[in-house]
Amino acid sequence: MSSVHPESLLAEVAALPSLPGVYRYFDAEDQVLYVGKARNLKKRVSSYFQKDHGGTRIGHMVSKIRRMQTTVVRSEAEALLLENNLIKTLSPKFNILFRDDKSYPYLKVSGTGSTQNRTPINPSGEGVKPEAYSRIAYYRGGVEKKHRYFGPYPSAWAVKETIQLLQKVFRLRTCEDTVFANRTRPCLLYQIKRCSGPCVGVISVEQYANDVAQAEAFLRGETQSVLKAMEARMMLHSDKLEFEMAAEVRNQMTALSRVLHQQSVDTVTDTDVDILAVKVQGGRACVNLAMVRGGRHLGDRPYFPSHVEDGHAIGGTALDDDVAADQQSLEVKVLEAFIAQHYLNIPVPPALITSEKVDAKVIEAISSQSGIKVSAVHNPREQRRAWLEMAEKNASIQLARLLAEEGSQQARTRALVEALDLTPDDIDALRMECFDISHTSGEATQASCVVFQNHKMQNSEYRRYKIEGITPGDDYAAMRQVLLRRYGKVAEAMKSADADAKIRMPDVVLIDGGKGQVSMAREVFQSLGLDLSLIVGVEKGEGRKVGLEELVFADGRDKVYLGKDSAALMLVAQVRDEAHRFAITGMRAQRAKVRVGGGRLEEIGGIGPKKRAKLLQRFGGVRGVEDASVEDLLSVDGISRELAETIYQALH
């Protein structure tokens, strides 16, 4: 095997130290093949080049190695953390990889929680300041020290359910500060007993702060102490003959007791726990993560890693030079990879419940990373056993769903290949690009290009094109422009003698339109010298009814009607509808920017899409932002005083 490798690489391997570290393999195109770690770099890396791996997956990977990088670290824990940081950053082809999902949502409690230096209020509500009363809200993004955050939660639904619970029991406000500051009478939430009316001075700062403190204790799982504190308050009001206030506290206790009974958390001793169950089948894997926070089971979320079989064949998460690493089951390797990668940037709870026994070194590594002592149990009892069984069942269900969907999508791809008489080298690599034009009476014309490959839509490769210099409403001219922009450079590159092998046309260029649009596409392809057989138009059927569409070709072939139950037509409709959706959303955003004037905010340094959206949402458009004072601008999350002053000056 070593005969295919450069002498310089083999010399580098021979000179490696016998120390813990991380190694990276690269192919001839300088793409990362594999990231691994070892207790003994020299011993582990040498084993790749000294053994004959034959036609196995590991042999296939080793034959591609042309370059190597290594990093020596101080300990095995450092090696584990560095390896998984690099896996998430570099996305190697032969590692088990868990891609980042959307960020987890949190429940945010605004303010520091202190009642000191807050402006006293009068019963009429005059002089009430929003910052004196903490607000609970759904939140995603970076955390700030001036607020408190609880979570993470597995879904937005779990956060919103918790907010509703806190409204019922503790009656905390959820309104924006600008709404709060302009109230002159209680809102509907006060009338239905979901808010204590701090905006109009119905409740004092101290009383409200006490409710906030109890709500936070409840979120931390301190339910019994919350009930005892409520009972003490109720008796104190009763002793003072304040029977109405005592009744209010009693109602709070009743509501909280009902919640505890429904959640069955009054007998649970765990407060923060993650339950991890893994299921492997058909070359795919699912890790189901269930979250318990404050003693409440908040739901779960499935994760599906890529490169499962390659990662299993080549190495695991246990230190690769351990003899046990080659004997690890695929379930253990997947679970350890998830733990090592997932908790790099996500807070880890003090207890993990796992369906498989994981290496103690993995737990030690995330403990050192997080700064808290983490324990893992793989054979739990009682309530923990029920949690794990539920997570295992969900993992099985989610994996079965994924396999069914993938099987269906592959069948659709195969049906389309047969219907169009295509001959791709690999059906999995079949690439289809679809174009659509969208505008409103010629305003804000945009073209979209979506990509289908590997039996699924490739969102990261979607592109939008702003169409300019045409007669408003001329869809044919818009299609001409987008196709020239998309394939002009590709055509030039393909004609070059030293063209990169990676530069190629898609197998199908799908046009959302009939004969007219296809004719325009044919003219563009002829001018560029491209293959006309790639162009396929989707012509709407009689009465524009779904299922009656016909395929129109640019190379002179007759129209094809696939049939309303055809798997190939289902795939064509899926891709076309996605192109239509992507074009419409881009057009609407462009139109809104023109009409509302959001473009003015884009010109201000430090204002990105997220902050611009928050400003426009908070103040109802650029006019509202213009009318806002610096103090008003400061009330928007993520806007510092310096940035608020910059915005104010730019708009005035």
Q: Tell me which amino acid residue 7 is.
A: E
Mean pLDDT value of segment 184-190? 88
Structural domains of the chain ordered from first start: 2-90 (3.40.1440.10), 106-263 (no CATH), 273-400 (3.30.420), 427-593 (3.30.420.340), 597-651 (1.10.150.20)
CA distance 302 to 98: 11
Mean pLDDT value of segment 537-544? 79
Backbone angles phi, psi at 146, to 5 degrees: -75, -5
Percent of the chain with pLDDT over 70: 85
CA distance 372 to 364: 10
Taking the CB of residue 346, how many other CB atoms lie within 10 A of it? 14
DSSP reduced 3-state for 241: coil
pLDDT category at 116 given cuts 50, 70, 90 is very low
CA distance 527 to 382: 72
Pairwise pLDDT comparison (82 vs 652), residue with the higher score = 82
Pairwise pLDDT comparison (318 vs 163), residue with the higher score = 163
Q: Which residue has the tokens 């005892």?
A: 228
Provide the pLDDT for residue 543: 65
pLDDT category at 427 given cuts 50, 70, 90 is confident
Residue 497, pLDDT above cutoff 70: no
Non-local (6+) Cβ contacts of 171 within 8 A are 193, 194, 195, 196, 211
CA distance 390 to 405: 23
Q: Which of 51-60, 319-328, 393-402 has the highest mean pLDDT?
A: 393-402
DSSP reduced 3-state for 303: strand
Provide the pLDDT for residue 450: 94
Provide the pLDDT for residue 388: 92
CA distance 40 to 175: 58
pLDDT tens-digit series, residues 567-622: 888 899 889 999 989 988 877 766 555 444 445 666 677 787 778 778 877 776 77
DSSP β-ladder status, 21-26 and 67-72: antiparallel
Pairwise pLDDT comparison (295 vs 124), residue with the higher score = 295
**What is the Rg, in whole angstroms, of the alpha carbon atoms belonging to the chain?**
30
Provide the pLDDT for residue 210: 87
Do the Cβ atoms of 218 and 294 come closer than 8 Å? yes
pLDDT tens-digit series, residues 131-186: 788 999 988 877 777 888 887 888 888 888 888 888 888 889 998 888 888 888 88
Do the Cβ atoms of 179 and 153 come closer than 8 Å? no
pLDDT category at 220 given cuts 50, 70, 90 is confident
pLDDT tens-digit series, residues 119-131: 444 444 455 677 7
Residue 469, pLDDT above cutoff 90: no
pTM of the model: 0.64
